[in-house]
Amino acid sequence: MTLYQFTPSRTTIKVWLPIVAAVALFPLLVNNEYILNTAVMAGIYIILTSSLNITNGYTGLFSFGHAAFYGIGAYTAAILSTRLGFPFLLTLPLAGLVAACFGAAIALPTLRLKGIFLALVTIGFQQITYLVIMNWMSLTRGPMGIPAIPPVSFFGFELSGNRQYFYLILVLNLAVLFLLSRIIDSRVGRTFVSIREDELAAQSVSINVFRAKVLSFVIATFFAGIAGAFFAHHARFVSADSFKLEETFLILTMLIVGGMGSFVGPIIGAVSLVILPELFRFLAEYRGVVYGLIMIAAILFRPEGVAGVPGIISPRGILSKPEKPKAVEEAAP
């Protein structure tokens, strides 16, 4: 089955509906705030991983700066709500837009670069963003972070308790995933995949590759910003430490393990890696080590992850004997 084409269509609604129903019913059976909090985090990471999938999975761009846009979204929501009193319904889209603007600003000068160079320049921006947030005291309060962010409220009704936030993130997830599926299953989405596969051939069918790459980047950063806004109102406190390079690596690990370039891959990756440390609570201290080992195992043994399109990271992922350079292959028996 070609999972990368697995976007909700009429027939597959039958598969999705029971899953969504089960997920919707689950919080009614659980009373533990901690478990529900984990579920909310899973929802946030699904959005983050799915949005990173747009650039890294579908378009084949190696962006290593995703957490910075997550952070920009979070800080935008935090600043707008604490200083200007904006409600969630405004901070959510504005956070997405601000993140997308930064995404465009960064994409324009850098998307000419490819491969490792693009990865490096996005890391550079990730670090610069972190440092600016940490130092721009008047805007972000630097290392102290922004506390007392108001909770989500709709027309006077304030959300409290993780169960209510869970339903909100569930609705948000459904909306985001629906929009992403429409984007992927369209002329725009086909353009992205063709760029990943063969940029030259894409140009030969009149695709403006550069513009498409920028669009891909802007879409991904928009949704990262949205996730950030939700995080801000849920956690009620933001600090730059949540948006460092490690966070990008975590999201990237989720994407790789779940599977790049497919629709369900990021969902699987996000849910598994958020739930995993909870299932093995005794490993809590070793969480970083476990994530690192999982990333290494994935690259060595199954770089397409659980449900990804094979070959995006490399054509050959299994442990293989060191290859002789091509010049001598003919001579070998």
Per rule CB under 8 A, is residue 293 in the interface with other proteins?
Answer: yes
Contact status, residue 55 vs residue 217, Cβ threshold 8 Å: yes
Residues 6+ apart with CB under 8 A from 332: 324
Per rule CB under 8 A, is residue 135 in the interface with other proteins?
Answer: yes
Distance from chain centroid for Cα 267: 10
Per rule CB under 8 A, is residue 187 in the interface with other proteins?
Answer: yes
Q: How many residues does the chain have?
A: 333
Applying CB under 8 A, among 163, 190, 272, 302 the residue interacting with other proteins is: 190
Burial degree of 26 (CB within 10 A; 0-12, 13-18, 19+): middle
Q: What sign does the CA torsion over 222, 213, 54, 317 have?
A: negative
Applying CB under 8 A, among 29, 205, 279, 332 the residue interacting with other proteins is: 205
Binding mask 209-228 for other proteins (x = CB under 8 A): x-----x---x---------
Rounded Cα distance between 255 and 268, Å, is 9
- Nearest distance, CB of residue 147 and other proteins, angstroms: 20
Instruction: Give pairs for 81-87: CB < 8 Å, separation 24+.
Output: 81/149, 81/150, 81/232, 81/233, 82/146, 82/148, 82/149, 82/150, 87/153
The two tokens of residue 54 are 């747009």
Applying CB under 8 A, among 12, 160, 198, 280 the residue interacting with other proteins is: 198
- Nearest distance, CB of residue 203 and other proteins, angstroms: 4
Site for other proteins in 87-116 (CB under 8 A): 109-110, 112-116
Report the b/e string of 93-110 with b at 16+ CB within 10 A: ebbbebbbebbeebbeeb
Q: What CA dihedral angle connects 137, 142, 148 and 149, to 10 degrees?
A: 90
In this complex, which beta carbon is closest to other proteins, that of residue 21 or of residue 128?
128
Site for other proteins in 12-41 (CB under 8 A): none
Applying CB under 8 A, among 17, 21, 175, 289 the residue interacting with other proteins is: 289
Contacting range for other proteins; rule: CB under 8 A; set: 22-30, 45-53, 132-140, 167-175:
132-140
Contacting range for other proteins; rule: CB under 8 A; set: 91-99, 226-234, 272-280, 313-321:
313-321
In this complex, which beta carbon is closest to other proteins, that of residue 18 or of residue 285?
285
Per rule CB under 8 A, is residue 286 in the interface with other proteins?
Answer: yes
Applying CB under 8 A, among 61, 256, 264, 271 the residue interacting with other proteins is: 256
- Nearest distance, CB of residue 45 and other proteins, angstroms: 17
Per rule CB under 8 A, is residue 267 in the interface with other proteins?
Answer: no
Site for other proteins in 157-186 (CB under 8 A): 179, 182-183, 186
Rounded Cα distance between 151 and 69, Å, is 21
Q: Is 118 helix (H, G, I), strand (E, B) or coil?
A: helix
Per rule CB under 8 A, is residue 67 in the interface with other proteins?
Answer: no
Per rule CB under 8 A, is residue 139 in the interface with other proteins?
Answer: no
- Nearest distance, CB of residue 153 and other proteins, angstroms: 28
Rounded Cα distance between 278 and 164, Å, is 21
Which regions of the chain does DSSP assign to beta strands (E)? 153-154, 157-158
- Nearest distance, CB of residue 125 and other proteins, angstroms: 6
In this complex, which beta carbon is closest to other proteins, that of residue 163 or of residue 302?
302
Per rule CB under 8 A, is residue 194 in the interface with other proteins?
Answer: yes
DSSP tag of 161 = S
